């Protein structure tokens, strides 16, 4: 796809570049070698700005905890999206998979009376199956990921509505274990939900998988240059399929968090998750052209959106400005990505 037009060495560190000419060029080079630096700087500056503008209400531990809670579903789904984007793909169905998995968990446990752990497990498995279906469409049938997941987005959404009959299971009827991720413990004087901690754990686990295992190396290779990866002996089809299955399983886990967050099981939840997850990935500095980026960038990306959303709300700014700001952030992030790429051009 797009990366075919780039030389195979496009993402290599600029070791052969002449000495940096001034601070700007040095900054550009630093941002290129350390993809987390950009989003980290934005997150710190935004937090500082709102701490000054809004005051202590923004920076108090309770609000920080709330921001993390509010971005945890986007963050989880964002992990799945990052994996797909790193393979130079895109997954438009992550939100639909998450909602389908949550409805399966709720219906099995509440309406069909299955033991809750089994219902939970089956929900996560359904997520993996949906991801696997995407993977088969992309690898076996060679349908571009955008098209394949555009199709499955509608398929999964319709299945959700058929299965749930569009009806919500009320919070009071949901068994405690299903909403367990929404419960909180006291960490350093602030209530932190289990799902916030689990989300951070998931980010750490996937970051390790990507950086410390052969699977991660293969995934990056496939995303950077699929043909090159194939020629060097990587079974690209199998790697891609596994990436889609893992992304689906993560969405299944996100479904559990979603139930914990909203208490009830609603087929109408998470309707914006697809676009929000892409937003988090892009703001987090992962390149939509594949191969370059970091899953922890997605955590920073979703926190940046959360900080802006919370900061603007607390200062009483009209909600439309939140939408506006997120749009500007996306454009700036992609422009920055293009600028940083020039270092290696």
Partner 1 sequence: MADRVMPRHRALAALSAGIGLTLLLTSCGSGLSGHGDDKTIVGLVTKTNDNPFYVKMREGAQKKARQLGVDLRTFAGKGQADNDSQVKAIENLVAAGAKGILITPADSGAIIPAIDRARKAGVMVVALDSPTEPASAVDATFATDNRLAGRMIGKWAKARMAGKRPRVALLDLSSEQVKVDVLRDQGFLEGFGVDVRNPNRIGDERDSRIVGHEVTGANEEGGRDAMEKLLQKDGSINLVYTINEPTAAGAYQAVKAAGKQKDITIVSVDGGCPGVKNVAGGVIGATSMQFPVKMAADGLAAVAAHTKDGGKGSGSSGQGFTNTGVSLITDTPVSGLDSQKSDWGLRHCWG
**In the complex, what is the shortest distance from the CB of residue 158 to partner 1, in angstroms, rounded to a whole number?**
8
User: Rounded to whole angstroms, how far apart are CA atoms 93 and 151?
Assistant: 8
- Show contacts with partner 1 in window 38-57 (CB under 8 A): 57
Single out the residue of 85, 130, 221, 269 in contact with partner 1 (rule: CB under 8 A).
Answer: 269
Cα Rg for the chain, rounded, in angstroms?
20
Q: Is residue 185 helix, strand or coil?
A: strand
Cβ distance to partner 1 smaller for residue 320 or 345: 320
> What track of x and - describes contact with partner 1 for positions 116 through 155 (by CB under 8 A)?
----------------------------------------
**In the complex, what is the shortest distance from the CB of residue 323 to partner 1, in angstroms, rounded to a whole number?**
7
Single out the residue of 261, 302, 329, 330 in contact with partner 1 (rule: CB under 8 A).
Answer: 261
Single out the residue of 33, 213, 232, 272 in contact with partner 1 (rule: CB under 8 A).
Answer: 272
Alpha-carbon distances, residue 9 vs 5, 35, 231, 262, 344 (angstroms): 11, 17, 15, 46, 8
Binding to partner 1 by residue 262, rule CB under 8 A? yes
Single out the residue of 51, 59, 184, 325 in contact with partner 1 (rule: CB under 8 A).
Answer: 184
Alpha-carbon distances, residue 14 vs 30, 34, 65, 293, 297 (angstroms): 10, 12, 39, 16, 21
User: Rounded to whole angstroms, how far apart are CA atoms 108 and 131?
Assistant: 20
Tell me if 75 sits within 8 A of 280, measured CB to CB. yes
Single out the residue of 45, 204, 205, 323 in contact with partner 1 (rule: CB under 8 A).
Answer: 323
Q: Give the closest residue to 138 by CA, choosing from 93, 182, 177, 108.
A: 93
Binding to partner 1 by residue 161, rule CB under 8 A? yes
Q: Which stretch binds partner 1 (CB under 8 A): 78-86, 130-138, 159-167, 200-208?
A: 159-167
Count of CB atoms within 10 A of residue 288's CB? 16
Burial 334-345 (b: 16+ CB within 10 A, else e): eebbeebbebbe
Q: Which stretch binds partner 1 (CB under 8 A): 61-69, 133-141, 211-219, 281-289?
A: 61-69
Single out the residue of 21, 142, 165, 342 in contact with partner 1 (rule: CB under 8 A).
Answer: 165
Burial 73-94 (b: 16+ CB within 10 A, else e): bbbbbbbbbbbbbbbbbbbbbb
Binding to partner 1 by residue 328, rule CB under 8 A? no
DSSP string, 111-138: IS---HHHHHHHHHHHHHHHHHHHHHHH
Single out the residue of 6, 129, 143, 168 in contact with partner 1 (rule: CB under 8 A).
Answer: 168
Binding to partner 1 by residue 189, rule CB under 8 A? no
Binding to partner 1 by residue 175, rule CB under 8 A? no
Residues near partner 1 (CB under 8 A) are 57, 62-63, 66, 69-70, 73, 157, 161, 165-168, 170-172, 182, 184, 191, 258, 261-264, 266-272, 309-310, 313-314, 316, 318-320, 323
């Amino acid at each position: 796809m797009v990366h075919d037009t780039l030389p195979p060495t496009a993402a290599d560190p600029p070791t052969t570049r002449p000495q940096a000419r001034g601070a700007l060029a040095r900054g550009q080079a630093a941002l290129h070698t350390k993809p987390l630096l950009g989003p980290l700087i934005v997150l710190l500056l935004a937090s500082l700005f709102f701490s000054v503008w809004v005051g202590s209400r923004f920076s108090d531990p309770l609000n920080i905890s709330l921001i993390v809670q509010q971005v945890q579903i986007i963050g989880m789904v964002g992990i799945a999206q990052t994996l797909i984007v790193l393979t130079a793909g895109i997954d438009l169905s992550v939100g639909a998979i998450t909602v389908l998995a949550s409805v399966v968990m709720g219906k099995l446990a509440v309406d069909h009376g299955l033991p809750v752990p089994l219902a939970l497990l089956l929900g996560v498995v359904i997520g993996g199956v949906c991801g696997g279906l995407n993977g088969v469409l992309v690898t076996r049938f060679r349908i571009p990921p955008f098209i394949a997941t555009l199709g499955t987005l509608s398929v999964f959404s319709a299945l959700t509505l058929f299965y749930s009959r569009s009806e919500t299971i009320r919070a009071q009827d949901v068994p405690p274990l299903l909403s367990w991720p929404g419960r909180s413990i006291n960490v350093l004087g602030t209530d932190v939900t289990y799902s916030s901690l689990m989300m951070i754990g998931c980010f750490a686990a996937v970051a390790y998988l990507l950086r410390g295992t052969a699977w991660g190396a293969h995934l990056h290779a496939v995303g950077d240059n699929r043909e090159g990866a194939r020629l060097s002996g990587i079974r690209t089809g199998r790697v891609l399929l596994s990436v889609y299955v893992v992304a689906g399983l993560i969405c299944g886990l996100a479904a559990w968090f979603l139930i914990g967050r909203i208490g009830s099981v609603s087929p109408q939840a998470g309707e914006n998750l697809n676009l929000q997850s892409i937003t988090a990935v892009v703001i987090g500095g992962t390149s939509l052209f594949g191969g370059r980026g970091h899953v922890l960038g997605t955590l920073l990306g979703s926190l940046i959106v959360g900080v802006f959303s919370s900061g603007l709300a607390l200062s009483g700014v009209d909600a439309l400005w939140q939408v506006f700001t997120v749009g500007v952030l996306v454009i700036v992030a992609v422009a920055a990505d293009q600028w940083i790429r020039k270092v290696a051009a």
